[in-house]
Each structure stands twice: as structure tokens, then as C-alpha cells.
A = this chain, B = another copy of it.
Amino acid sequence: MNFMEIAENRQSCRSYDSREVEPEKLQAILEAARLSPSACNGQPYRLTVCRGATAKAVAAATQSMGMNKFASQAPILIVVSEMPYVKSAALGAKLKGNDYRSIDIGIATAYLTAEATAQGLSTCILGWLDDKKIREICGLEHPVRLVITLGYAKEETIRPKKRKDLSELVKEI
């Protein structure tokens, strides 16, 4: 699958079947995230892979106000937490008033979910979550920024993507 096919096929999956994720596929997905670039090569995040009862507890912590009910179906939930900056990135962020860590987390998440798609797996990126609860469940000191559901889709129809036109997103000068 080339990258444009990945970009076209990757979609938020909200229905998972009971098939387990093969360990070698999970390994490839985590390795892709590991290879992603970050400001000053700081890799300011940690990935916590949750299965079984832990996954169910993390899923519950993304489900307030009726959100993310499907998360309980996914065999794996990956919790993305934010680590402190390395010194050089901290200095740059302070001098430039920019939040490089969040950008780095976005890049790593894109790599992780792209490789999942390449492996025939499906994902959903959840930002609606209870940071405090998930930290307790997973024993994490640092803020939880995202939870990624990972598994095989129950239904694999690719939905047409709704996106802004390029003319709205891009200006050439």
C-alpha cells in the first residue's frame, strides 16, 4: 500500500471484531511511531499498550457524556502520554512560544496509525478522555493526551472522506 492509499483508506473505526492483533503487527506499528521525527529528537511521549481488563477500564475513562462507547470493543488501547521536554526543545518552546510537544505527539500518532492501516488494522484517535483516571489505571505520572483504539474492523467499507477543498486549505504565493 503506498502512502496515498494509506491516507485514503485510514479512517476512524468505531466498530471492532474480536480478532486479536498479531504481536508482530503491533511491533511494526510501535516501531513506526518510534521512527517518527520530533523537535530536537526529544520523543516527548510514552505509549502504554493496554489489553483485557485494563483496556476496558481505559475505554470507560473515555466514555463520559455518551462518547466513545465503541472503545470497549477494541482489543488494544494505546495511551499516549506527554513527557517533559528535552532541554533544547524546552528552550526553543519558551523563546518561540510554541508547543512542540503536542505537534510531536501528532506526528507520532500519524505514523502509528498509518502503519496500522498498512498492516490491515483499524484505529480511532480519541482526545475525549479523563486524564486523571487513565493515569491512575496505567500508573502514569505525566499527562495523557490521546488514546488510540487498535484492532480489526468489523466492517471495512471505506467511507468517502469529507475534507475542505485544497483551494480553501492552501494558498500559493
- Which residues of A does B touch, CB under 8 Å? 1-4, 6-8, 10-12, 28, 30-37, 39, 41, 43, 45-51, 54, 92, 96-100, 102-111, 113-115, 117-118, 125, 127-129, 131, 138-139, 145-146, 161-164, 166, 169-173
Residue from B47, B111, B129 in contact with A7 in the complex, judged by beta carbons closer than 8 Å: B111
Chain B nearest CB from A39 CB (Å) reads 6
Question: Given contacts A41-B163, A48-B173, A96-B129, could you give 18 more A-B pairs where the C-beta distance is less than 8 Å?
Answer: A1-B2, A4-B35, A7-B35, A8-B35, A33-B169, A34-B166, A34-B170, A35-B161, A43-B164, A43-B169, A102-B106, A103-B105, A103-B127, A103-B145, A105-B106, A107-B110, A114-B114, A139-B173
